[in-house]
Amino acid sequence: MTIEIALVLGIALVAIILFATERLRIDAVALLVLSALAILGLVNPDEALGGFSNQATITVAAMFILAAGLQNSGALSGIGRLLGQARSPMVFLLILFGVLAVVAPFVNNTAVVAVFIPLVMTAAASIGMSASKALIPLSYVSQVAGVCTLVGTSTNLLVNAMAKDLGHPGFSMFEFTPLGLICLGVSCLYLLTLGRWLLPDTRTNELVEQYELGKYITELRVMPDSSLIGTSVGEAKLGEEFGVYVLELLRGEEKVWSPRSQTLEEGDVLIARGDWSKLDELKNQTGLEINSEFKLKARTLEEGTQQVLTEVMIAPRSRVIGSSLAMLDRRWQHSATVLAVHRRGEILRKQLKEVRLNVGDVLLMLTPETEMQALRKDKSVIVLSQRDADKPMGWRAPFALITMALVIGISAIGWAPIAITSLVGAVAMTLAGCLEADEVYDAIDWRIIILLAGLLPLGVAMSQSGAAEFIVANTLGLVSSFGPLVVLATLYLMALLLTELMSNAATAVILTPVAMSTANLLGVDATPFLIAVTFAASTSFATPVGYQTNTMVYSAGGYKFTDFIKVGLPLNLIFWVLGIIFIPVFWPF
């Protein structure tokens, strides 16, 4: 073992430990790896910074923008309505899997899951289905559907880019489709049968069981010109006429006894419960006003700034759990006015400022439209709906769909590389107004971009230093006498285990040079081994940290770590067997 090999393996080992323990953010680990390689002279400056200009990095960034353009233009607005048409959990999952099979192969699966989480949660709630029965399937199927094409996941693009740098001709747009479709069909069948039984039911954790979305508690102040002055709540028949029920009557700082029979005066505050549409109708017809004393991070807005009515749910493990609305102002990052609160299974009879937020509480907020992008990215809340009447689809929705089709189609027929078509498509969507120029930067998950750019030099160092050959000689080389099929099975298993412990991108970077060296050792085609690395690294099911979509639903679904092991480990083993059987069939040695 040379000094260079020892240094590269040492850096790789430290990276694996840091990824597995999550002591540092994944992008910070990637930058540390890049810095160590450059300082120790294991890569030259061009190679150290080459990851930032690599086609895989550029393509992934552009695909994030394209996904945002599809969403903002309204091209995906029909998905929520389609999911809402289901009347049983089985039909709901079938519709979900069908939609994912169409969308996820062409849009980065991280972006797909980010868009689908609120759609799935609200649609599941409407049929009385626990979101925990749907969110892990959302993550798993988006991963499997993503591996069906070159652009469906960043791992595919990363392996393709590294393989090209190492002398492999690379993969076509639909190279992975035959095996991908088999795995997609098997995974859907598993999740509809055994997997569905293994999934937890978190109804008791106040996540989504019958939200009764729209049943809010709010404060209504009696204004000087209100028609209710001089009458009692009982005489006004607010329940009969508006479906609004007054729970408490506040006069100054005091609660008034018997609110239904008390004559209303100017300045009285009614703590009322009802559908938001009915509360709004009552407010407009009787001269009441929302007692909106909670203007979080309030600041002067530019003239003409549109305010949107938004429902957000307090997410599991949110940093604002336990905060009152008064305390929330110090922890909140967004400008918003809280209008009302909904809590499933409990009728709140307190002033809003006294309510301490729990997991599953829904806040109805008035939010500047310019804040919505940042609000959707906030992991403390899940945006359930935006009540400002969705943007009209107009011509931008079909434009976005056509642009996405051209990006994929032109690359598939070989007229231009995917990095160029996706970049041009992102520019076209921005110029067409599918998303604003500032939203372009918000649309990109920069942690993933830094991760890819920072880790690519590690793959270069492993190949150039001989570290990849050293790993092969001391691991896969030990079983080489049993033939390429056993070596393939061992490599797939190595990738499977590494992916569950750390980032899928890191696994791909470390094992792609190993796959190429393995093929050289055996004197066979490298393609089967590269396919094994791609599929194993792109489909991580057994832990919530192995793949970013698992991490996203882990929080939103209120899962335990062991839930992923119970549901995901059998599926990982099924994919391992499928890989051993079908990879040599489609890509012979």
User: Using one digit for the tens of pLDDT, what is the confidence trace for 393-443?
Assistant: 578 888 988 998 898 889 888 888 888 999 999 999 999 888 887 778 877
Per-residue pLDDT at 206 exceeds 60:
no
Query: Could you tell me the pLDDT band of residue 85, with boundaries at 50, 70 and 90?
Result: confident
Question: DSSP state, 525?
Answer: -
At residue 353 the predicted structure's pLDDT band, cuts being 50, 70 and 90, is low
Cα–chain center distance at 459 = 27
Q: Do domains 215-290 and 295-386 have the same CATH topology?
A: yes
DSSP state of 42: S
CATH number of 215-290: 3.30.70.1450
Confidence of residue 307 (pLDDT cuts 50, 70, 90): low
Given a cut of 80, whether residue 582 has pLDDT beyond it is yes
Q: How many CA atoms lie within 13 A of 150 on its CB side?
A: 22
- What is the pLDDT, as a whole number, of residue 406? 92
Are 526 and 163 in contact by the 8 Å Cβ rule? The answer is: yes
Q: Provide the pLDDT for residue 326.
A: 65
The three-class DSSP label of residue 88 is coil
Is the pLDDT reported for residue 557 higher than 80?
Answer: no
Would you list the domain boundaries of the chain? 3-206+441-576, 215-290, 295-386
- State the pLDDT confidence band at 506, using cuts at 50, 70 and 90: confident
Least confident of 117-131, 512-526, 565-579: 117-131
| Number of other residues whose CB lies within 10 A of the CB of residue 299 | 7
Give the per-residue pLDDT at 475.
82
31-45, 499-513, 546-560 — which one is most confidently predicted on average?
A: 31-45
Q: Which CATH architecture has domain 295-386?
A: 2-Layer Sandwich (3.30)
Q: What is the pLDDT of residues 448-471, one digit of tens each?
A: 788 888 888 888 888 888 888 888
From the list 173, 176, 168, the residue with the least C-alpha distance to 526 is: 168
Q: In the 8-state DSSP scheme, what is residue 523?
A: T
Residues 6+ apart with CB under 8 A from 358: 206, 314, 321, 343
